Structure 1
């Protein structure tokens, strides 16, 4: 009798453990595989400014889609500010500049750098934790990105391009198919932040949605589950 009871208890415990493991896996999926980075080169970004003399009302009033640039380089301070506006962490609890359904943060931001003072041309991933860049590969890939974007010349003429990608499963694991919509909404939030920040910095940008996803992924060396949503050229106007 005792053996049967003990056996039944073990079965119940085993099932419970399996259920808990399954739930944990769904709620906290494994992170996407890392790119084959060039010796994990990390570039610390200058701290973002948290105030300025340029009001949010002015930024809203003056924001325009800008497709022509002077060709002058950007500074690392400006890059820092733009990336912080897109996905910077603003709270010890991990909250960011753009709202996210369930606080799941499915977006990643890449920098395709061409003309930036004190920054080698190349592709970088923005890491909000630490406010830093992780180098993916060297070389000026703006023309390749322009070709992937159906030859839209402002993509290669801008000093840099920000590329926003979405990892859908971070959100759909909780919200199902509805989460796809939430990821797209969040990309819009982040892109508008960049537009307003660029305006406040006296820079020009435009949101680009026409491109070949697979070609953009190849340029970024992004994992298969990272889907490009926006390309945002940024330059001096």
Structure 2
């Protein structure tokens, strides 16, 4: 303010013939300052007090184990990813494939102070449609800086649960090793026709996404592009600046089906499991699944944990024999749900997945939930299936959780919705989804042990 008064005094004191020149000089100085401030601002608005962490990514590899043709052959769309983490070397390779700068281009740019577009993995369309990539990880949100090949933290909290509300496949977001947001301006800074600007920006976003997906294949990873998403929710959660539009979302990680091999059985599985409470007395749990499109991870991981705790598991469905999960996993249904004898089991567990929606108003499923509650059995449901318990009327005044999208259905059934990953109220255990499947299984074991 003091400087502004000095400038005003200077303008008034100069001869009238020179005042006009002085005024224009001030305008130029102010505009130059605004441009400088704008250039210094990152692509994402930061809230005050948010710590900033910069991660130097490992140098990308310029050769890989697969040819282009082999990557095309291996490219396939999966529906679910495992919760196995990926490292920063893999993340760095994905970032480089999408927006990385070639070394020679970087050197040329530093000398000429020109555009970086020509040296990027995906050249900018006509040099005016810059893409910005954000990585949503378990410890926050990062923006990728292609010049330094670094990740710059712009938000220091896990937003994946909230982020999952914006997509049609929330499990992919919550279990992925990383979620990549491809953002860019849909308005043309050069003033071209809006439809042309939109087409060119989307073209570049598509090229970036293709590079990322092919790189994922080379790293033995899988990718799930979000076909439908609410860009407003994504922008709000990740605090994107107003000049950026969310153009594409990709979840990347290890495919869930690599965790399992063969059909599910009730035998204790091999492999390392979290410690579980061994129960001296033999207990039996029945897991109710849809005959098609049950959630593979929810079924197999729950069975693995229960079996490791010494609990026998049996699968029930609307048909006998082989039933199939969304990821192609196979399980053996040993009993029909309309012939299920609740007295034969200590726990009844509803497994989620798209196919489980068929049980929402199924009389047999609703009666099973009611009878299990009446006979003091452990009753558990995960992801989409707590709605079955709500429809059965067994969640009145019970603390429960589920997919966030089903919150209103649980509340309509009288549940006290908590939104936690896992909720246990007495003998009733509910979970929001496969991201918490181990905690879900552990809560069932504790309920069976009377803890």
Q: CA deviation at 1:31?
A: 4.2
When normalised by structure 1's length, the TM-score is 0.80
Distance in 2, matches of 1:155 and 1:231, equals 10
Q: Residue 97 of structure 1 corresponds to which residue in structure 2? A: 121
- Greater shift, 186-195 or 97-106, is seen at 97-106
Distance in 2, matches of 1:141 and 1:130, equals 25
- Structure 2 residue 94 is matched with structure 1 residue 82: yes
Distance in 2, matches of 1:110 and 1:221, equals 11
Q: CA deviation at 1:143?
A: 1.4
Q: Residue 236 of structure 1 corresponds to which residue in structure 2? A: 254
Distance in 2, matches of 1:194 and 1:72, equals 19
Aligned partner of residue 206 in structure 1, secondary structure: strand
Query: Equivalent residues in 2 for 1:10-49 (5 A)?
Result: 30-31=38-39, 33-34=41-42, 35-36=45-46, 38-49=50-61
Distance in 1, matches of 2:230 and 2:186, equals 18
- Structure 2 residue 194 is matched with structure 1 residue 184: no
Distance in 2, matches of 1:150 and 1:206, equals 11
Q: Deviations over 1:118-149 (max 9, x none)?
A: xxx11111111100011011222111111121
Query: Equivalent residues in 2 for 1:35-184 (5 A)?
Result: 35-36=45-46, 38-90=50-102, 91-92=105-106, 93=109, 94=116, 95-114=119-138, 121-150=139-168, 152-169=170-187, 171-173=188-190, 175-177=192-194, 178-184=196-202
Aligned partner of residue 170 in structure 2, secondary structure: coil
Distance in 2, matches of 1:60 and 1:150, equals 26
Distance in 1, matches of 2:249 and 2:233, equals 12
- Greater shift, 98-107 or 39-48, is seen at 98-107
C-alpha contact (below 8 Å) 1:148/1:216 kept by paired residues: yes
Q: Deviations over 1:192-223 (max 9, x none)?
A: 00010000100000211412222101121111
Q: Residue 408 of structure 2 corresponds to which residue in structure 1? A: none
Q: CA deviation at 1:32?
A: 8.5
Distance in 2, matches of 1:199 and 1:175, equals 37
C-alpha contact (below 8 Å) 1:209/1:229 kept by paired residues: no
Describe the shift of the 1:144–1:135 C-alpha distance in structure 2 as closer, same or farther (beyond 3 A).
same
- Structure 2 residue 226 is matched with structure 1 residue 208: yes
Q: CA deviation at 1:87?
A: 0.5
Structure 2's unaligned 5+ residue stretches are 1-16, 110-115, 256-451
Q: Deviations over 1:215-236 (max 9, x none)?
A: 1011211111111111111111
Describe the shift of the 1:168–1:106 C-alpha distance in structure 2 as closer, same or farther (beyond 3 A).
farther
C-alpha contact (below 8 Å) 1:159/1:234 kept by paired residues: yes
Structure 1's unaligned 5+ residue stretches are 1-6, 115-120
Distance in 1, matches of 2:78 and 2:88, equals 21
Q: CA RMSD in A?
A: 2.7
Q: State the structure with more CA Rg.
A: 2
Equivalenced residues, count: 212
When normalised by structure 2's length, the TM-score is 0.43
Aligned partner of residue 216 in structure 2, secondary structure: helix
Distance in 2, matches of 1:100 and 1:44, equals 24
- Greater shift, 30-39 or 69-78, is seen at 30-39
Q: CA deviation at 1:174?
A: 5.8
Q: Deviations over 1:31-79 (max 9, x none)?
A: 4843226343211111111112211111112111222222111011000
